[in-house]
Amino acid sequence: MKAVLRRHERIRRRSEFVRLQQRPSLRVRGPGFLILATPRADAEACSRIGIIASRKVGNAVERNRAKRLLRELFRKNKAAFPPGFDLVFVAFADLHERTYTAVEAGAHAALRELRERASKVRRERARADAGDLAQGQGRIQAAASGHMPTRKAVRDEESG
């Protein structure tokens, strides 16, 4: 049976590519490629992949080879990628010249760094969400008691 990337495992919309390129949470360089990663809202969802191979990589044949190498890297090593992330691979000019085994061997260090940094981003985001939730609960309780703090009081509380 031919193993392919399913629709839910791919980034398809231009707006998603643009969002990931403009504000990535992580940047990790591998041999011949760069990974831009951003956590998804659903942390348990599978990671999605998008691939960018500009004309700097080469002609159409070379760009397609570079994209095939990166798709295969993702497909064969899905467990090595952090779950719940959108990943965009940016191919560099020399990627199409490498063999798959060379790309895979060099990518292990990049994937290890990606997993470590991804867990750190998840922890920071969870901490920030917990703080936002606690702050929101305080405001809800204040509204229920009939006393809403002024904007100045909220600003002073946040800065102090």
pLDDT in tens, 95-104: 888 999 999 9
> If you average pLDDT over every residue of the chain, what do you get?
82
Residue 19 or residue 139, greater confidence:
19
Most confident of 10-14, 39-43, 126-130: 10-14
The per-residue pLDDT for 153 is: 67
Q: How far apart are CA 110 and CA 78, in angstroms?
A: 14
The per-residue pLDDT for 90 is: 93
The per-residue pLDDT for 63 is: 93
The per-residue pLDDT for 143 is: 52
Q: Does domain 7-159 have CATH number 3.30.230.10?
A: yes
Confidence of residue 160 (pLDDT cuts 50, 70, 90): low
In a 13 Å sphere around the CA of 102, the CA atoms on its Cβ side amount to 10
3-state secondary structure 34-96: EEEEEECCCCCCCCEEEEECCHHHCCHHHHHHHHHHHHHHHHHCHHHCCCCEEEEEEECCCHH
Q: How far apart are CA 104 and CA 111, in angstroms?
A: 10
Whether 1 shows a pLDDT value over 50: the answer reads no
Share of the chain above pLDDT 90, in %: 24
Q: What is the pTM of this model?
A: 0.72
